[in-house]
Structure 1
Amino acid sequence: MSNAVYLDQIKQLVELQKVDDAIFAVKQELERAPRDLEDLEQRFEAAEAQRNRVLDKLAHLQEQQKRLSLEIDDDSARIKKSKNKLMQVGNTREYHAMMREMDSMEKVNRSREEEKMTLMEELQLQNDTLAEIDRDHSALKAELEVKREGLEEKIQKAKANLESLSRKRAQVSKAIPQPVFMRYEFIRVRLEHPVIVAVKDGVCSGCNIAVPPQSFIELQRGQQILSCPNCQRLIFWCEHFSLPEESAPVPKPVPLTD
């Protein structure tokens, strides 16, 4: 193969790789976009679960507070009623019995009042916690709604872009000799992206491993398309494309030094 034909084929392969680079980027975006939404949905669900736990706790505390208030009011009414009856007590024994009963009810009520104060403090704490959670919950909900609305549009645009790139790829592929194109495709379906990479300073940019000296010399001659002995990707010498295309002389081979 002449040097001119070789360079032309390398340019065609690099052009094809550019299209495949764009296709690869779009496909990655298509994979990433739903994952981003899933992550946001999980965060929202976690916030909602936390919010529901606080709401359940608040409901339980409010129920306790209501029960205590009723018990306090009920015993306060009984104490008041007992005090009114004291004036009608006929003997000392009955009087002391009623006093003991009233003292007992007042003691229980004081304990309930203390419990009620503790409940009120806990209610305030939980309400403050709920307010903080609600801020995060509302922000996540709004972000999730925007993300859901934008995802479908993003997917449709990406699919349209893929269709356009696929058409461009078909056009670029037509300019490449079939055996060369089939070799490119053989590598593409078996190796990680990309397929063709530059060699700079004797190092393959695909695997970052030095190309053997003899292979590097052959690569610089530019007479046949070579593969990296390590990663099997197609390789080209970066210096072949460092000068303007029309006037660039063919660089002389530069042997590697150990």
Structure 2
Amino acid sequence: MSNAIYFEQIKQLVDLQKVDDAIFAIRQDIERFPRALEDMERRYEETETQRDRILDKLAHLQDQQKRLAVEIDDDTTRIKKSKNKLMQVGNTREYYAMMREMDSMEKINRSREEEKIILAEELQLQNTALTEIDALHAALKEELDIKRSGMDKWKQQVENSLKNLNKKRAKVSKGIPQPVFMRYEFIRVRMEYPVIVPVKDGICSGCNIAVPPQSFIELQRGQQILSCPNCQRLIYWCEHFELSTEPA
């Protein structure tokens, strides 16, 4: 084919690739957005689980604290009663027996007081953890609500963008000779994006491997649409074209 026809066909293919680039970017967003939402939902559920675990632990600690308080009060009352009875003891044997009992109760109470202090410290730690997880939980919920509410709007925008790009693609591809277009499509559905790439300094920008010298010479002649022998993408010599960044 003549140089003019070759250049026109390459330009049409590059314009088509630019439209496909935009479609490819949108489709990647379509994959990323739900994943990001799922990740956030998972994090939100994890904070709920952590929060429930802390609340369960707090409830258990508070129950222990109440139990200890009751036991300490009961034993304190018993010790007071024993002290009053001690004044009325009639013999030495009974006196020492009551003293031993009081001493035992006082030791148990001291142990409970120590346990009470440890429980109070643990309660403080768990309450601090609850405050932190509540803040994170609330922030994630707010962000999640925003993302969920924007999902429908985002989907509509994406659908409109894809619809417009598909119209543009049909318009661009309409001017490409059918055999050339079918060749482009054959490559597009069988290999990783992109389909047509420039060759610069003898290197295919699709696979970053040098084009064989004979193929590079033919490419520079600009008379036939060639494929990279290594990656099979369509190729063109970058110095043949000063292409705009937007599709025609």
Q: TM-score normalised to the size of structure 1?
A: 0.90
SS at match of 1:64: helix
5 Å matches for 1:22-171? Answer: 22-171=22-171
Deviation (angstroms), 1:220? 1.1
Distance in 2 between residues matched to 1:164 and 1:90, nearest whole Å: 106
Distance in 2 between residues matched to 1:151 and 1:205, nearest whole Å: 37
Deviation (angstroms), 1:81? 1.9
Deviation (angstroms), 1:97? 2.2
Distance in 2 between residues matched to 1:97 and 1:6, nearest whole Å: 115
Q: Of the two structures, which has the highest relative contact order with CA contacts closer than 8 Å and spacing of 6 or more?
A: 2
Unaligned runs of 5+ in 2: none
Change (3 A) 1:111 1:243: closer
Q: What is the number of residues matched between the two proteins?
A: 244
Q: What is the percentage of aligned positions where both structures have the same residue?
A: 75
Distance in 2 between residues matched to 1:243 and 1:90, nearest whole Å: 116
Distance in 1 between residues matched to 2:161 and 2:242, nearest whole Å: 31
Tell me the alpha carbon deviations over residues 128-171 of structure 1, each in whole angstroms, 9 at most, x when there is no partner.
Answer: 12222222222222222212222332222111111111111111
Aligned match of 1:242:
242
Distance in 1 between residues matched to 2:205 and 2:145, nearest whole Å: 42
Deviation (angstroms), 1:53? 1.8
SS at match of 2:199: strand
5 Å matches for 1:194-209? Answer: 194-209=194-209
Deviation (angstroms), 1:243? 8.4
Distance in 2 between residues matched to 1:213 and 1:165, nearest whole Å: 38
SS at match of 1:242: coil
Deviation (angstroms), 1:96? 2.6
Larger deviation: 161-170 or 76-85? 76-85
Unaligned runs of 5+ in 1: 245-258
Aligned match of 1:4:
4
Distance in 1 between residues matched to 2:181 and 2:142, nearest whole Å: 49
Aligned match of 1:233:
233
SS at match of 2:191: coil
